[in-house]
Amino acid sequence: MVSLQKMICLAKESRFDALDQGASPGIDLSKLYALGDATKHDVCVSSATTRVVSGLDRLGDVTRAGVCHSFSHDGRCVSMFKTLFTNECSHQCAYCSNSTVCTSSKEVYCYEPQELANIMLQLYRGNYVEGLFLSSGIGKDEDRTMERMLEATRLLREKHHFAGYVHLKILPGTDRDHVGQAMEFADRVSVNIEVPSSDHMSLMSPTKDYRNDILRRQRYVQRLARKKGLPAGQTTQLVVGGAGESDMEIFGSMVREYREYDLKRVYFSAFLPVEGTPLETTVPQPKWREHRLYQLDWLYRVYHMPPDELRLAFDAEDRLCNNDPKATIAKETITEPLDPNEASYDQLLRVPGIGQVSAKRIVSARRTKRFSTRKELHYLGVRLKRANPYLKVGGWQESLLERWMK
């Protein structure tokens, strides 16, 4: 990931000189920094790790502003220029530095559509990015701001013939026609639901109408996508733990988003208090909570495990523990060690240490042979340290299974 500081250095060194020399005006680096940095709570890719990344030269932090990465519809990893269009906002979200209730002083910036298109093209030509992730504060009015975001994207697509990846944020409450236009220009669009219910929304963002501003816009996207298509689909983001929501509530919301709105991905962002906001003294949520939700998302979305089975990963208070949910569920459901020569693909997939690839390899290999040692499974990619207690191979099983499971 290229940090904003690095981008600014690049800009100072040479990469943006061409803009000054050409017809385009020079770049306001404070604006570039402020609007890039303001996207750090907007997630467009999963963290996939619980490691805390800190320090100026940190690598691998997906929330960091500047250039981030996402996956296009064909599975390719795309580096993207991630920025807000403006950090002005008329909403009162209790967790956001752009909201009207945030008391910290900040400079308000806004791009001109052509200015943003120029920066994007410069970064693209410099080979730093392949795509654009464009989000925004509401400005004074969601439709006016959305129009200007659309104009920037239209300039990129029609005037400059930019055919790269574009992820556009649909602002809450945006007019239906604007949603349609956004879907013509973008590969992926997203409306952030942020919280699992209207009640949570009234705590976190009292000026937003959960059903009308958020869910109805998601429905617009879904209907248009079914008619006309949307290459990389619709996504959303949930803040984890800002409004006291339980993991089960977040999970329920995730399932609803996939089932009822055809979402391609649901992203999670562990709540972090921002100075000057009404929630500045609220306890930050551990990164592992976000990570465990991503693991659960994987089991639902990729393994197609039913919600009822996944609910076994939660405790009596609807929380996830800091453990792999697959292992927690396996302890509940796999009561007898499985023979890899007999177990079905679905049964194998539920064994910790066996993923889709190794389960397929086992099923394929046993057409011509029988497994008699654990080493043979190891060669097929099974992580024996995790899988051993759940397997019976060559008549042998771990004698301590029951004790180990306690």
What are the residues binding ligand SF4 (CB under 6 A)?
89, 91, 93, 96, 98-99, 137-138, 205
Identity at 184, one-letter amino acid code: E
CB of residue 58 vs ligand SF4: minimum separation in angstroms? 24
Would you state the structure tokens that stand for residue 210, as one six-digit string?
């959960």
Residue 313 C-beta: closest distance to ligand SF4, Å: 29
CA pair distance 195, 243, nearest whole angstrom: 8
Nearer to ligand SF4, 138 or 377 (CB): 138
∠ CA 123-125-128, rounded to 5° = 45
Min dist CB 95 to ligand SF4, Å, is 7
CB of residue 142 to ligand SF4, shortest distance in Å: 9
Backbone phi and psi for residue 19, each to the nearest 5 degrees, phi listed first: -65, -40
Q: Which residue lies nearer to ligand SF4 by CB, 187 or 194?
A: 194
Picking from 92, 36, 21, the residue whose alpha carbon sits closest to that of residue 67 is 36
Give the Cβ contact number of residue 90 at 10 Å: 15
Burial class (CB within 10 angstroms; exposed 0-12, middle 13-18, buried 19+) of 382: buried
With tokens 């805390």, the residue in question is: 52
Quote the CA–CA distance of 125 and 340 in Å, as a whole number: 52
| Tokens encoding 18 | 């061409």
Q: How far is the CB of 395 from ligand SF4 (least distance, A)?
A: 59
Phi then psi for residue 298, to 5 deg, are -65, -45
State the minimum distance, in angstroms, from the CB of residue 187 to ligand SF4: 22
For ligand SF4, the closer of residues 34 and 93 by Cβ is 93
Nearer CB in complex with ligand SF4: 3/98: 98
C-beta of 219: minimal distance to ligand SF4 in Å? 19
First vs last C-alpha separation in the chain: 43
DSSP for 4-27, written as a single string: HHHHHHHIIIIITHHHHHSSSPPP
Closer to ligand SF4 at the Cβ: 99 or 282? Answer: 99
Task: Using the minimum distance from each CB to ligand SF4, give the nearer residue, 84 or 186.
Answer: 84
As a whole number of angstroms, the longest Cα–Cα distance in the chain is 77
Please, what is the minimum distance in Å from the beta carbon of residue 72 to ligand SF4? 25
φ, ψ of residue 240 to 5 degrees: the values are -95, 110
Give burial (CB, 10 Å; 0-12/13-18/19+) of 24.
Answer: middle
Nearest approach in angstroms of CB 260 to ligand SF4 is 23
Taking the least distance from each CB to ligand SF4, the nearer of 205 and 285 is 205
Kindly tell me which of 137 and 353 has the beta carbon lying closer to ligand SF4: 137
Q: Which is nearer to ligand SF4, 106 or 375 (CB)?
A: 106
Question: Within 302-393, where are the H helices?
Answer: 307-310, 325-333, 345-349, 356-365, 374-379, 384-387
